[in-house]
Structure 1
Amino acid sequence: MLARATLSYALLATFTLLGACASGGSARASRPLTPAQLAAQDGGIPPYTKADVSFMQGMISHHAQAVTMSSFAESNGATSEVRVLAGRITVAQTDEIAFMKTWLGKRKQTMPAGDMEAMAHAHHIGMDMSTMGGDASGGMMPGMLSPAQMDTLKTAKGRAFDWYFLTFMIQHHKGAISMVDELMSAKGAANDDDVFKFVSDVVADQSTEIDRMELLLKARSRP
């Protein structure tokens, strides 16, 4: 009798332990996955939002216009200070365009197509500003030059070019920073470490360049 009782207690303890394990496993299964776990399920790609995608698509065209603007400096007789600045903008923003295209490509998202000048004039291609609290009416992205402004810059020469380039590029850079602000205000946006680092670099680099351009502009009179 004692042996049977001992066996019964042992079986009861075993079933109780198994039930607890099953209950614990169920609780663990119901917990939301961490970002790392979600990324692992999606081939190592961190979670992203529609706002992230729209930002990248729009910023490619935005950067392309800055590169096109900078390409006029040499042929339009800009001073050495402005030519150096334009060269730095060309290198930095061309590299960033490559990064944004790679980011979109890995996520199988569409991206603006064509050469730099074509993208520079496609003012809001691929970008739904409403996803970031912006203008959903189809207007130009913040800071983008109008066709008339682009024509003015393209035909200006020498010191006149310097003035227009600095004025328009300040406008352009402030627009890019505004786009970052809009992205950061969107729910769940920029949680991808690569996106967060990229937009942080955009704000830091372009804020520094704005300060530099404003100093250069003070030394020049309006044409």
Structure 2
Amino acid sequence: MRLPCPRTARVAVLAVLGGATLFGACASAGPPRPLTPAQLAIRDGGIPPYTKADVEFMQGMIGHHAQAVTMSSFAEPNGASSEVRVLAGRIAVAQTDEMDFMEDWLRTRKQTVPPRDGAHHHHAGMDMSGASGQMPGMLSPAQMDTLARARGPAFDWYFLTYMSQHHRGAITMVDALMQARSAANDDNVFKFVSDVVADQSTEIARMELLLKTRPKP
């Protein structure tokens, strides 16, 4: 048997319900929650969030890789040893594939794709250029000329020395990217830069071993 609810009790219940409704209205009027990376990707047509630093890194690294490919192209015509020719071939193939990836990444996001001729040397957004205005590790015109003119054992020494310099510069660029706010949150970018560091660190160690058996010209 249900007992009649006293008027005072009904008033108390209504007050509680009214307060809850008011609280809900106030809560819903608060600032919206930030979107998750997955929600942002859906909003942007499936493209994960990226930053200006990500874009500038990709644009700069295309020119950086292009120089490494040019350096590697000298190995066979300049009489490099078989070990250096194999190394140069691997670098050329790997970095050409990586340039393809970076160009596709930029196009998908409707960003400027720089030419592969090495003209895009200035990386002002991440402030990674040195006094010469070039990115870390990039060979100067004089160094490129020295490498292009070297032959045989002399070429081996210059190639191993200059490519080690070049690789260390690429790793410096990755380090700068990782320190930039909210950069490399895109899984593809993070995997790419991780591979760059792993592959080029391994190649530096290999080149240092080969250098020990090559006399300085």
Q: Please show how residues 27-176 of structure 1 align to structure 2 within 5 Å.
A: 30-113=32-115, 116=116, 118-119=117-118, 122=119, 124=121, 127-128=123-124, 131-135=125-129, 139-176=133-170
The share of aligned pairs that are identical, in percent, is 67
State which structure, 1 or 2, has the greater radius of gyration over its C-alpha atoms: 2
The corresponding residue for 1:204 is 198
Q: Which runs of 5+ in 1 are unaligned?
A: none
Q: Is the 8 A contact 1:78 1:157 kept in 2?
A: yes
TM-score (norm 2): 0.87
Aligned-pair CA distance for 1:14: 7.7
Distance 1:204 1:75 in 2: 29
Distance 2:139 2:127 in 1: 21
What secondary structure, in the 3-state scheme, does the structure 1 residue paired with 2:57 have? helix
Distance 2:38 2:152 in 1: 53
Q: Is the 8 A contact 2:138 2:169 kept in 1?
A: yes
Residues 98-147 of structure 1 deviation map (CA, whole Å, 9 limit, x = unaligned): 0000110011100112xx4x22xx2515x32xx32434877100000011
- The verdict on how the C-alpha distance between 1:53 and 1:211 changes in structure 2, with shifts beyond 3 A counting, is same
What secondary structure, in the 3-state scheme, does the structure 2 residue paired with 1:108 have? coil
- The verdict on how the C-alpha distance between 1:62 and 1:135 changes in structure 2, with shifts beyond 3 A counting, is closer
The corresponding residue for 1:191 is 185
Distance 1:19 1:142 in 2: 59
- Tell me the number of residue pairs that the alignment of Structure 1 and Structure 2 aligns: 213
1:220 aligns to 2:210 (yes or no)? no
- The verdict on how the C-alpha distance between 1:136 and 1:74 changes in structure 2, with shifts beyond 3 A counting, is closer
Residues 163-204 of structure 1 deviation map (CA, whole Å, 9 limit, x = unaligned): 110000000000000111111111111111111111111001
Distance 1:42 1:50 in 2: 16
Distance 1:98 1:165 in 2: 24
Q: Is the 8 A contact 2:59 2:120 kept in 1?
A: no
Give the structure with the higher percent helix: 1
Aligned-pair CA distance for 1:89: 0.2
* AA of the residue aligned to 1:96: E
Residues 20-70 of structure 1 deviation map (CA, whole Å, 9 limit, x = unaligned): 66555545x711111111111111111111111110000000000000000
